[in-house]
Amino acid sequence: MEAGGARRTLEPCPGAAPTAVDTGISDLGRAPTAAVTDPAGTYGDDPPGWAKFTGLAQAVADGVARRTGGGEVIGSLADRFGEGGFFDNPDNKYVVSNADAGFGPVLVLRGRAPTAPRTADGTPTMGTGQVRYWSICTEDLPTTGYLGCAYDEEIPVDELGYYTIVISAVDARPSTATTECGVTWLPAGGRQQTMVLLRNMLPDPSFSASVQRAIPGQEKATMGPYLPVGRYYPSAAAFDRLGCGSAGVTPG
């Protein structure tokens, strides 16, 4: 609107409008396989465990506790800082896992996908689902830099409602880690440790297995099959030998 209240039609923006968000892979995510310099188990567990993100202070405390064995003391100090932080907000909640390449350069995750409305194809009216949106991402923990991410509509789901995620460095990616084989691949980056985030946005109140309703310390009991289970493989070839379309790990 111009001065004086007159209306003026704006010129259209150049280029075609995007049809969907391109999450892609960051430059950090294109790093080659990292050298394993610390003992397996320094950064994560086998099989990988998950913890609900309840605050930045608690996340830092948990990481220090793993390295020092001071979990109870550090945890009680972290409680003073409250909830929330740079990964969650009132609408989005996360569970976090740490992949440790000391157990193997290829990590396979398998979990049940919550239903979510499809919106990327230009649907004029949003549908319903167990959540408004969900995604799984890999991050570089020291910098909190984004490595790669996939969201609900990008992730192949089988006839039973389960998905398979393969996490590895770009040069250790199995040849069968493709959407054509029913697999979503995410980059591990160039460190021994890769942080993995599973996010739920705005769950339906009836969805009792959402991240929002997960109880810290009881994530598996409260989320059931919606919390992924994982398995490490010693090489890309070891996963490829299972064949295209293999789940790679039995759901919990």
Closest by Cα among 92, 202, 88, 190 to 138: 190
Q: Helix and strand tally (H, E) in the chain? A: 4, 9
Model confidence pLDDT, tens digit, residues 207-252: 999 999 999 999 999 999 999 999 999 999 999 999 998 887 876 5
CA atoms within 13 A on the CB side of 164: 24
Q: How far is CA 197 from CA 137, 160, 176, 242, in A?
A: 5, 23, 23, 26
φ, ψ for residue 179, nearest 5 deg: -65, -30
Tell me what pLDDT residue 141 has. 83
Tell me what pLDDT residue 161 has. 97
Sorted by sequence, the CB contacts under 8 Å of residue 5 that are 6+ apart come out as: none
- The answer to whether 129 and 123 have CB atoms below 8 angstroms apart is no
Sorted by sequence, the CB contacts under 8 Å of residue 224 that are 6+ apart come out as: 112, 209
The alpha carbon of 248 is separated from its chain's Cα centroid by a whole number of angstroms, namely 18
pLDDT tens sequence for the chain (252 residues): 455 666 666 666 555 444 433 456 888 888 888 889 999 999 999 999 999 987 665 665 565 555 555 444 445 544 544 455 556 788 999 999 999 999 999 999 999 999 999 988 888 888 999 999 999 999 998 888 889 999 999 999 999 999 999 999 999 999 999 999 999 999 999 999 999 999 999 999 999 999 999 999 999 999 999 999 999 999 999 999 999 988 878 765
Domains of the chain, start order: 33-53+88-240 (2.60.120)
The alpha carbon of 94 is separated from its chain's Cα centroid by a whole number of angstroms, namely 9
Tell me what pLDDT residue 149 has. 94
| Residue 249: CB atoms within 10 Å | 21
Q: What is the 3-state secondary structure (H, E, C) of 59-72?
A: HHHHHHHHHHCCHH
Q: How far is CA 103 from CA 40, 44, 97, in A?
A: 6, 9, 14
Instruction: Report the DSSP pairing between strands 229-233 and 133-140.
Output: unpaired
